[in-house]
Structures are given as C-alpha cells and as structure tokens.
Amino acid sequence: MSANLSENYLYQVLLLLIVAILCWLWMRKGNKLVVAPLPPGPRGLPIAGYLPFLGKNLHHEFTKLAQEYGPIYKLWLGSKLCIVVSSPTLAKQVCRDLDVVFSNRDPTIAASILTYNAMDIAWSSSGPYWRNIRKLFVREMLSNSNIDACYHLRRQQVMNTIKHLRTNCGLPVEIGKIAFLTEFNAFISMIWGGSSTFKGGDHDGVGAEFHAISSKLLRLLELPNISDFLPILARFDFQGVKRQANEILAEADGFLNSLIDTREKERAKNGVGDFGKRDFLQILLDLKDCQDSDKSINKTQMKALIMDILVGGTDTSATAVEWAMAELLHNPEMMKRVQEEISQVVGNKSLVEETHLPKLRYLDAIVKETLRLHPPLPLNVPRRPSETCIVGGYSIPKDCKVFLNTSAIQRDPDVWENPLEFRPERFLGGEEGNKWDFSGNNLHYFPFGSGRRVCPGIPLAEKMVSYILASLLHSFDWHLPKGGEEVDLTEEFGIVVKKKTPLLAVPMQRLSDEVLDHA
Ligand code: HEM
Ligand SMILES: *C1O[C@H](CO)[C@@H](O)[C@H](O)[C@H]1NC(C)=O
Ligand SMILES: *[C@@H]1O[C@H](CO)[C@@H](O)[C@H](O)[C@H]1NC(C)=O
Ligand SMILES: *[C@@H]1O[C@H](CO)[C@@H](O)[C@H](O)[C@H]1NC(C)=O
Ligand SMILES: *[C@@H]1O[C@H](CO)[C@@H](O)[C@H](O)[C@H]1NC(C)=O
C-alpha cells in the first residue's frame, strides 16, 4: 500500500517535471530564445578568456583564428564575448536584415568618458537621442550647402601645406604626418575658422594646442584595456585608464569651453545674424539658441559633437591619404597616369580646386581602391546587438561585441580578381566599375560601414581625401628617399590600421613658381 502510494507520487512528480520542461522549452521558444549554438571559436580560460593567449601580434593571431574557424567565430576576451563576422552574406544579415538589432555600440571605458558619457553620435546607444543628434549633424552641419560654404577654410589649409612642402623640396617628409596635420587643421578651421579671436590652423595657434590634446586622446582610445574586458576589475582601474581619460577630458573640456564662450561673447556683441561666419561653431551655436526643442542642443552636446568630428574624421582620412601615396610610389606608372589626368583637367597653370574633383575619374578610382585594400577601420566600429538573435545559424547573445571584418570581405577572391593587388582600374568605367560606391548598400565593399550606423561623414571625407591627394600629386613629383627604394606595405594593427613604417617621400616642385606662388 505505502509502496504503491510512493510509486504513484513518483509518477506524479515525473509528470510534473515533464510538463515543466515542456513549458520551459515552449516559453523559451516563445521568447525567441531558439536553441542555437554559439559560433565556433577557441575555448580559452574561463575567467580571463582568450586574453592571455593573444600575444603582441594580435593581427597575426586573428588571422590564424579566422582561418581556423571560418566566416563567423567567437572569442572570449575576459568576460566579454566578441564575435567576428567575415563574409558578405553574414555581414548582410547584420547590417541589413538585423540592422535595427545590431545598431547599438559598445563604447570602451575611455571612449564613453571622452564623449561626455557617450553623448556623441558614434558611441551613443541607438534610440531617439542618437537618431536626433545624428539627424542634426547630417542635415544642419554636413548639408551640401554648408560643406560648400566652408570650402575656403579647407582650401586655406591645403594651401598652407603646399607652401610648407615647397620649402622642403628635395627633403624627405613623413606623408602620414603631413596628411594628418592638413586634415586636422582643415577640420579645426571648419569648426571655428571664421573667428577673429581664435586663428585656426596656425601651427602655433589653437590648432596646435588642441592637436596636443587630441593625440593623447587618440592614443588612449586606440588601446583596449583590461577593465573593458573584465568589468569586475573596472572599479579598481588598474591601468589608470579612467584617471587618464578624465584628465584628458578635463583638458579638452577647458579648451572647448573657452572657444565656445569666446564666440558667444562675440555673438552677444555683434549680433547673431553674422553670416560671414557660418563655420561649424556658428551652426552649433545657432542650434543651441534654437527655440525648436527637437533641434536645440546644449553645450555638452556641442562639445561631444566636436570630439566626434575631430576624432572620427582626422585619423581615418589621413591614413587613407598615406596609403594612397604609398601605393602610388609603389606603382610609378599609376602615379604618372593620375598626374597626367590632373594636368589634363586642371591644367599646369592652376592649382587643384574641389570643383575639379568630379572630373578626376582615375583619382577617384585610386581613392576607392585604397579604401578597398586598406580600409582605415578594417574591423568597422563594433556593434552590440540589443537582443539575442541568430546569424548564420548561430546564436549571437544580447550585448556581445560584434566585429565586421571589412578587410577580409573586401579581399574576397570570389568578388575581386587578384584581391591582394592594388588595381584602381577595377573601379573605372563600365557597369562593373560603376556599381561600387561608399553607401554600404553592397556588402562586398563598405569602407564606411553600412546600415543605419554608416559613417555620416562620407561627403566630407570623400572630398577631403581626394582634394588633398590631388593637390599633393599636382604640385609635386614624389619619389622615395635614397636608400629606401622599396615601399614597405605592411600594416600595423590598431583601431585605425596604419602603415607599420611611416611613409617617407621626397617632394620635387612640379608646377612653376608662378603658379605655386598662388598657394
Ligand atoms: C576616410 C575617412 C573615413 C572612414 C574610412 C570612416 C569610416 C567609418 C566607419 C567604418 C564607421 C562605422 C560605420 C558602421 O558602424 O557601420 C564610421 C562612423 C562614423 N564616422 Fe566615419 N569615416 C571617415 C571619415 C569621417 C569623417 C570625416 C567624419 C566627420 C566629419 C566621420 C564621422 C563619423 C561618425 C560621427 C560616425 C559614427 C556614426 C554612428 O555611430 O551613427 N567619419 N566611420
Ligand atoms: C591600457 O591602458 C594603458 C594606459 O593607457 C596602456 O598602457 C595599456 O597598454 C592599455 N592596454 C592594455 C591591454 O593593457
Ligand atoms: C580579418 O581578415 C583579415 C584578412 O583576411 C585577417 O588578416 C585578420 O586577422 C582578420 N581579423 C580578425 C579579427 O579576424
Ligand atoms: C544636455 O542634454 C542632454 C540630453 O538631453 C542631457 O542628458 C544633459 O544632462 C544636458 N547637459 C547639460 C549640461 O545641461
Ligand atoms: C604638366 O607638367 C608636367 C610636369 O612638368 C608635364 O610632364 C606635363 O606634360 C604637363 N602637362 C600639361 C597638360 O601641360
């Protein structure tokens, strides 16, 4: 009797258990937590993850992993799950089909401190805040008419660079540095160029002051840090990243405050409607004073936006110029061809202007090919899924870090013939050549990213890279310094992939004194 009862009881418990399990499975399914495995990848240690195994040569290690595990693999860095996607099909799932889910970011500790708690475009979480501030940036600041209106400010900086190079003819110069300074000064000038109090672009003016701050800032941003991977340790701030970031922020903040305050005082004195000064600062201040609450921004947001432009725009564009010059020095016949094109279109009696750019087809192909073979952000800017989802049959957990390997995809041999060769011709003419642009709509070529988080700086970046490049090529002939007859094309791993050894080249005057005197 008692045995029977306990047997009965056992059956009941078993039945309940089965029902519970079924319910649980059903609910999981209802929650869309379909059981799919995580992508393949190395096991690593439970707590530290794969971190201790990644030696100095991160780049090399990643290549090995990608070869071993294929187009999607996972990697535990500390307690952070990273997923690397390197096929166009899977990238399309991320940037197109699941764009909404994948449009969050995962700022490092340094990045969020330096952007006033991710108050900028690049690091803010997707949502109304991000949508609004991005819209302001694209519509109000980077509208075609605004970009055109500040052409003279960019031009002045390119002219300064030509003048500077002229005094250095015959001597080796560091192309990356020249390109960086030109881009940087051009941005500074576009931001507060019109101001009478602050002379932008001077090597010893505001430009120089902010340059020093910003190189510290870039260095800090480039280094992933232990606290980012092991949040448990973050509050101890072992490496002092938080402290350093706060120090740099304080410096940058003081500087930006004084700029904005000075301009505000000028406005108070001279009135708001001073249209001679439609630089970015002016536009931002107009927005700040704007009554329309959708458009109005406060001072902190202004500063975060300025940080985005300077940090997001300079290093990337300058790296593109350096790689293009490196490839041209490596391929002298291409150098000759592009210089001839520029001479044809511009003429040897004038300097290049931005209005010439649409006619410089070969130059455009060179820029596109440079961004294919050497995308400045080869792993894009990592995305963070806002919910767990499935990509390529694998489960991608909410809040992990997703890298798109642009570099790998843009070298896919199924799409690009001899993918490792620098061949601008592939972007020239014909249906084949014309189908590529920077929009990111085609996931075989997306140096500026793709989807709703695509780089909003494209129109300006495209103009500036081409304009600087064309000006360097038209005004000067370039050759490698004696003893350096080979161009070293190895890459150095970082957030922005630079050349491992900085490119040195020697400029020789190509246009007459008369023409260059106009610079
Ligand atoms: C050759 C130059 C440049 C390259 C290669 C480049 C590339 C990129 C890439 C790959 C992304 C991430 C897109 C994604 O997540 O899919 C990005 C985002 C961004 N870029 Fe650029 N960029 C360049 C120049 C610029 C310039 C000149 C500016 C500013 C004027 C700029 C501002 C930004 C901003 C604000 C974002 C964040 C967008 C968001 O998260 O919504 N970039 N860029
Ligand atoms: C972390 O930050 C410190 C200080 O900026 C730096 O020296 C270090 O290389 C960074 N990265 C790692 C992985 O330790
Ligand atoms: C991305 O792809 C390139 C080229 O195939 C490879 O060298 C690199 O290591 C890959 N990076 C990652 C993080 O998988
Ligand atoms: C500026 O606006 C943002 C977003 O609306 C807000 O979070 C922030 O606290 C404001 N900052 C100041 C200094 O008012
Ligand atoms: C322009 O000058 C270069 C260098 O002196 C010369 O090789 C080229 O033929 C000239 N082109 C034209 C169209 O005058």
| Residue pLDDT, tens place only, 431-440 | 777 789 999 9
Name 87's Cβ contacts closer than 8 Å, sequence gap at least 6: 71, 72, 392, 408, 409, 412
Q: Which atom of ligand 4 is nearest to the CA of 299?
A: 13
Å from CA of 43 to ligand 1 middle: 33
Paired tokens of 330? 């490596």
Q: How far apart are the C-alpha atoms of 428 and 423, rounded to whole Å?
A: 10
Least distant ligand from the CA of 85: 3
Paired tokens of 401? 């870090």
Residues 241/155, Cβ–Cβ less than 8 Å? no
Paired tokens of 271? 């009135």
Least distant ligand from the CA of 403: 3
Q: Is it the case that residue 275 has pLDDT exceeding 60?
A: no
Å from CA of 351 to ligand 5 middle: 13
Probe residue for ligand 4, chosen from 121, 298, 299, 303 as the CB with the greatest number of ligand atoms within 8 Å: 298
Residue 51 confidence class, pLDDT cut points 50, 70, 90: low
Probe residue for ligand 2, chosen from 223, 226, 246 as the CB with the greatest number of ligand atoms within 8 Å: 223
Pairing, β 173-174 against β 504-509: antiparallel
**Ligand 4 pocket member 117 (CB < 6 A):** no
Paired tokens of 125? 């979480």
Q: How far apart are the C-alpha atoms of 376 and 122, rounded to whole Å?
A: 16
Secondary structure of 328-382 as H, E, C letters: HHHCHHHHHHHHHHHHHHHCCCCCCCHHHHHHCHHHHHHHHHHHHHCCCCCCCCC
Q: Which atom of ligand 3 is nearest to the CA of 62?
A: 9
Q: How far apart are the C-alpha atoms of 397 and 468, rounded to whole Å?
A: 43
Residues 194/277, Cβ–Cβ less than 8 Å? yes
Residue 418 confidence class, pLDDT cut points 50, 70, 90: very high
User: How high is the mean pLDDT of the chain?
Assistant: 85
pLDDT of residue 63: 79
Q: Is it the case that residue 280 has pLDDT exceeding 60?
A: yes
Å from CA of 496 to ligand 1 middle: 12
pLDDT of residue 468: 98
Residue (of 183, 121, 263) closest to 463 by Cα position: 183
Residue (of 393, 350, 357) closest to 465 by Cα position: 357
- In percent, how much of the chain has pLDDT > 90? 52
Between 15 and 470, whose confidence is greater?
Answer: 470
Q: Which atom of ligand 4 is nearest to the CA of 298?
A: 1
Compute, in degrees rounded to 10, the torsion defined by CA atoms 359, 363, 365, 371.
-130
What the chain holds in terms of domains, given with CATH numbers, is 30-516 (1.10.630.10)
Q: What is the mean pLDDT of residues 249-267?
A: 87
The alpha-carbon radius of gyration of the chain (Å, integer) is 26
Between 82 and 338, whose confidence is greater?
Answer: 338
Q: How far apart are the C-alpha atoms of 349 and 204, rounded to whole Å?
A: 32
pLDDT of residue 131: 95
Measuring from atom 7 of ligand 5, which residue has the nearest CA?
340
pLDDT of residue 195: 44
Between 132 and 498, whose confidence is greater?
Answer: 132
**Among 74-83, 88-97, 176-185, 219-228, where is mean pLDDT lowest?**
219-228
Other Cβ atoms within 10 Å of 489 Cβ, number: 16
- Taking every pair of Cα atoms in the chain, the longest distance, rounded to a whole number of angstroms, is 115
Å from CA of 144 to ligand 4 middle: 29
pLDDT digits (tens, 9 = 90+) for 153-196: 899 999 999 999 999 899 999 999 899 889 988 988 888 775 43
Least distant ligand from the CA of 462: 1
**Ligand 4 pocket member 298 (CB < 6 A):** yes
**Ligand 2 pocket member 239 (CB < 6 A):** yes
Residue (of 75, 21, 180) closest to 401 by Cα position: 75
pLDDT of residue 202: 45
Residue 497 confidence class, pLDDT cut points 50, 70, 90: low
Phi first, then psi, for residue 509 (nearest 5°) are -55, 130
Other Cβ atoms within 10 Å of 479 Cβ, number: 16
Other Cβ atoms within 10 Å of 39 Cβ, number: 23
pLDDT digits (tens, 9 = 90+) for 210-225: 767 777 777 677 655 5
Å from CA of 493 to ligand 3 middle: 10
* Range with top average pLDDT, 260-269, 274-283, 381-390: 381-390
Other Cβ atoms within 10 Å of 433 Cβ, number: 15
**Ligand 1 pocket member 381 (CB < 6 A):** yes
Å from CA of 296 to ligand 2 middle: 38
Phi first, then psi, for residue 134 (nearest 5°) are -70, -40
In one letter, which amino acid is 126?
S
Q: How far apart are the C-alpha atoms of 454 and 440, rounded to whole Å?
A: 7
Least distant ligand from the CA of 420: 3
**Ligand 1 pocket member 448 (CB < 6 A):** yes
**Ligand 2 pocket member 224 (CB < 6 A):** yes
Between 487 and 201, whose confidence is greater?
Answer: 487
Ligand 3 site residues, Cβ closer than 6 angstroms: 59, 62-63, 66, 84, 86, 379, 403, 405, 407-408, 411
Residue 373 confidence class, pLDDT cut points 50, 70, 90: very high
Residues 217/172, Cβ–Cβ less than 8 Å? no
**Among 77-81, 268-272, 425-429, where is mean pLDDT lowest?**
268-272
Least distant ligand from the CA of 458: 1
Enclosing H/E stretch for 75: strand 72-77
**Ligand 1 pocket member 138 (CB < 6 A):** no
- In percent, how much of the chain has pLDDT > 70? 82
Q: Which atom of ligand 1 is nearest to the CA of 451?
A: 16
Residues 278/328, Cβ–Cβ less than 8 Å? no
Q: How far apart are the C-alpha atoms of 438 and 318, rounded to whole Å?
A: 17
Residues 229/114, Cβ–Cβ less than 8 Å? no
**Ligand 5 pocket member 474 (CB < 6 A):** no
Å from CA of 447 to ligand 3 middle: 15
pTM: 0.88
